[in-house]
């Protein structure tokens, strides 16, 4: 009873696909060893039932097939799909890193503001003790 419950409640979660398949296979083999073999159809249903939404494409592709599919083929499909997900994740991470690099290199040195008055600063100010060092020579309003 315990092995059957383990088989039915096994979820892939954060496991690698190989580990998930081995866990399901271990429970299936354990049940067969005590005289309660699991049918191929039940093995397929348990394998597919423990997958999360990332694998919906594989689950759908297997479920719409008219012919019976072997457990080994399902293992291969799951492993191939996991490999594809990892490749896409790697590409997405590289793209994100490249975008972050471009973004950060565009902002180096802080925010740049350009004076659109072509070298003339038309800032009105009243001289006081705090801004006598101000130069209105097109420096973008910075204090020097």
Mean pLDDT rounded to a whole number for the chain: 77
pTM of the model: 0.57
- For residue range 96-125, what is the model confidence (pLDDT) as tens digits? 666 666 666 665 555 544 455 555 544 444
| Residue 12 vs residue 107, higher pLDDT | 12
Q: What is the end-to-end Cα distance of the chain in Å, rounded?
A: 81
> Which pLDDT value is given to residue 105?
60
> Which pLDDT value is given to residue 89?
82
> Which pLDDT value is given to residue 103?
64
Instruction: Please provide the size of the chain in residues.
Output: 144
Nearest in space to 8 (alpha carbons), one of 45, 59, 52, 41: 45
> Which pLDDT value is given to residue 108?
57
- For residue range 19-50, what is the model confidence (pLDDT) as tens digits? 999 999 999 999 999 999 999 989 999 999 99
Burial degree of 27 (CB within 10 A; 0-12, 13-18, 19+) = buried
| Residue 85 vs residue 140, higher pLDDT | 85
> Which pLDDT value is given to residue 69?
83
> Which pLDDT value is given to residue 143?
54
**Cα R_g (the chain), whole angstroms:** 32
Tokens of 26: 């271990």
- For residue range 41-82, what is the model confidence (pLDDT) as tens digits? 899 999 999 999 999 988 998 888 878 888 898 899 899 999
> Which pLDDT value is given to residue 144?
53
């Amino acid at each position: 009873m315990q092995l059957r419950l383990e088989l039915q409640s096994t979820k892939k979660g954060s496991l690698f696909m190989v580990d998930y398949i081995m866990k399901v296979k271990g429970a299936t083999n354990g049940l067969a060893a005590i005289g309660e073999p699991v049918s191929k159809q039940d093995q397929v249903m348990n394998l597919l039932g423990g997958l999360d939404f990332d694998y919906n494409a594989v689950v759908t592709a297997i479920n719409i097939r008219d012919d019976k599919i072997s457990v080994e083929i399902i293992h291969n499909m799951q492993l191939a799909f996991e490999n594809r997900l990892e490749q896409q994740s790697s590409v997405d991470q590289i793209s994100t890193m490249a975008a972050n690099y471009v973004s950060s290199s565009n902002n180096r040195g802080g925010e740049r503001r350009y004076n659109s008055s072509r070298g003339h600063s038309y800032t009105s100010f009243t001289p006081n003790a705090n801004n006598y060092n101000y130069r209105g020579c097109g420096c973008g309003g910075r204090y020097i």
